[in-house]
Structure 1
């Protein structure tokens, strides 16, 4: 089986959509407790997983590293996957974001 790349999409209609779906699959059950938002930004073969949190802690970082490892396996050796954590009080989502957000905490979750 060959995996899609930006140059050869194979069965994936759009590279970014393929990455978003794979990132969502990799994150199932692993989004850090208390995460405000989680998403993915795609720049060719460079993929950045972004998580908005109230504070950075070891458990959350380990969860994100596990998601990144799972995603790297799903994407193959050609893609590089990095993680980024941003500290916020509430989810901060705008139409100008380069991140495609796949998880956003409900307002009552964000305030607890």
Structure 2
């Protein structure tokens, strides 16, 4: 089921842990801008060190693909940005589009500790 003629218009700033998270939407395009990779890690729980990572069970759903499928069903495109640069685009194709900015940002975060 695909949403027909969903048209959004929004501008919102959310302050979370002292960081401004910006959300803007026009038509079917949504931009979620986070101030830093650290904020993204905090929101997703990626920064938590609760011991070694457990292996993903075979056939477990990929959360990025699930979000992409949701955006496709809704007829929306979600542009996830970190510090104003697109990291991942959801809903623009069969799978999420991860940019070079995301790869370089995660590599840089690894070296920062």
- Scaled by the length of structure 2, the TM-score of the pair is 0.27
- Scaled by the length of structure 1, the TM-score of the pair is 0.27
Q: Which protein, 1 or 2, shows the higher relative CO under an 8 Å CA cutoff with sep ≥ 6?
A: 1
